[in-house]
Structure formats: C-alpha cells, structure tokens
Amino acid sequence: MKRVVLLGPPGAGKGTQATGIAEKFNILHISTGDIFRANVKQGTPLGLKAKEYMDKGALVPDELTCDLVEDRIMQDDCKNGYLLDGFPRTVFQAEHFDKFLASKGQQLDDVIDIEVPDSVLIPRAAGRRVCKQCGKPYHVEFNPTKVEGVCDACGGEVYQRADDAEETVRNRLKVYAEQTAPLTGYYKNSGILKAVNGDQTMDKVFADICKALGE
Ligand code: ADP
Ligand code: AMP
C-alpha cells in the first residue's frame, strides 16, 4: 500500500515513468491531465471548463481539481494506493489534499520530485506525441513509436497535444515555476520529498525512482 505523488515540471517524464511505477507497486496511476483531456474529448461540462485553461497553459481552478481528485481516490480501485501524476500543482491543492486525507485518517507516503533543467524540457515537449486512446507518451526522437502515428501499447492514434506548442510550453514552465515549484519546500517540510535526476535515460530514471520508493 503506497500513496505517492510524482512532482516535476511539464516534460519531466512523469507520464513516461508512471505506468511502470504503478505496475511495480501495484497501485493505480491517476493523471489529472489525462482525466481533463478525456473530458475535453467527450465534451463534458468539466471538459469545456478545463479546456479554457488548458489551451492557454494555465491551471484549472483549484477547487474543481481538488474535488475531482478527492472523489477519485475514494473509489475502490484506489484501496491499494495510488500514484498521482500532475496533482497537486499549487500549495492550495497540497494543503486541501492533506486536510482531506487527514479527515480520512490517511496520509501521503512519498513525493518524488523529477528534476530536469528547462533547456531539456522545451525539446522534450516539442517532440512529445501522445496516444489519443490510452494517453501513453512518446517522443519523435527520444522514444518513437514502432509504427509512425500508432501507439505500441494499444494501437491508438498518436497525436501532438495542442498545449505542446512552444509558446504554450513556455507559459506552462512559467506557471510551474510560480505556482508548482513551491511545493518542493512544502513537502520537504513534511519530510517525504525525494529528488530524482530526470535528465538521464528513461531506464535510469525508473531505477532511481524505485530506489527512492524503497525497492
Ligand atoms: P510529463 O508527464 O512530466 O509532462 P512526459 O512523461 O510526457 O512528461 O515526457 C515528456 C516527453 O519527454 C515525452 O515525449 C517523453 O517521451 C520524453 N521523455 C520522458 N522521459 C525522458 C528521458 N528520460 N529522456 C528523454 N526523453 C524523455
Ligand atoms: P499535464 O497532462 O499534467 O501536463 O496537464 C495538462 C494541463 O491540465 C495543465 O497544463 C493544466 O491546464 C491542467 N491540469 C492538470 N493537472 C492539474 C492540476 N493539478 N491543477 C490544475 N490544472 C491541472
């Protein structure tokens, strides 16, 4: 049983690492970005609202995001724990979530901060491609699909996210620095923060995260 947060700027490799980590520790991978994108695709009220912010590279409002995650982690498939990818993203979200967990007699076990310099993040986001069906991330150069445009895992169509346009990525990095980076201090104070160097091969990053999680 583990409750884990994956922290790190856009393009750090959270989505890339999350599937393997969730599998290894037998916990559920929850990506708020994937949930929002699925809602945008289905045209739900939540999707319509979230899209306004996502298109600009801004954050979806805190209350909306907290309600979504707090509902999700109370479902049965999270009983054995979960890996949060992309949440929390503000100190408000982190505090709200900690209070929510405490009210259920629970707490987070580990926060993994994947550290990558901005100079590496821009080309990563620019070359990112994502499966429309299962959300698996690829990279045109660093991690291409076997067949162009087709997901290796599920055969879904692979596309470029609208918010991976360079201008939007720059804004997302700014938003990260202003609103999300302070979370490292927040979790350092709780004593559960572990930093991992994300500027290494995917396999090495995976091994370092497993080590940080005690495997
Ligand atoms: P995040 O979920 O943190 O935004 P992703 O996992 O989607 O980031 O990764 C961003 C891009 O960088 C993807 O195109 C992915 O294939 C690529 N990538 C991830 N980890 C590495 C790595 N260690 N080395 C090179 N490219 C990577
Ligand atoms: P991601 O897939 O994690 O890169 O997230 C894509 C976009 O979804 C972000 O740029 C935000 O607009 C939105 N989003 C995802 N997670 C959150 C969150 N925890 N709080 C606010 N907005 C979020």
Catalytic residue among 51, 72, 132, 161: 161
* Ligand 2 midpoint to CA 86 (Å): 6
**pLDDT for residue 122 is more than 90:** yes
| CB of residue 11 inside a 6 A radius of ligand 2 | no
* Ligand 1 midpoint to CA 13 (Å): 4
Mean pLDDT, residues 165-188 taken together: 96
Q: Collapsing DSSP states into helix, strand and coil, what is residue 198?
A: coil
pLDDT of residue 215: 82
Note the pLDDT tens digit of each residue in 180-193: 999 999 999 999 99
Determine whether 49 is an active site residue. Answer: no
Catalytic residue among 3, 37, 89, 124: 89
Q: Enter the tokens of residue 201.
A: 């091969």
Determine whether 72 is an active site residue. Answer: no
DSSP assignment of 57-95 equals TPPPPHHHHHHHHHHHHTSGGGTTEEEEES---SHHHHH
Note the pLDDT tens digit of each residue in 54-93: 999 999 999 999 999 999 999 999 999 999 999 999 999 9
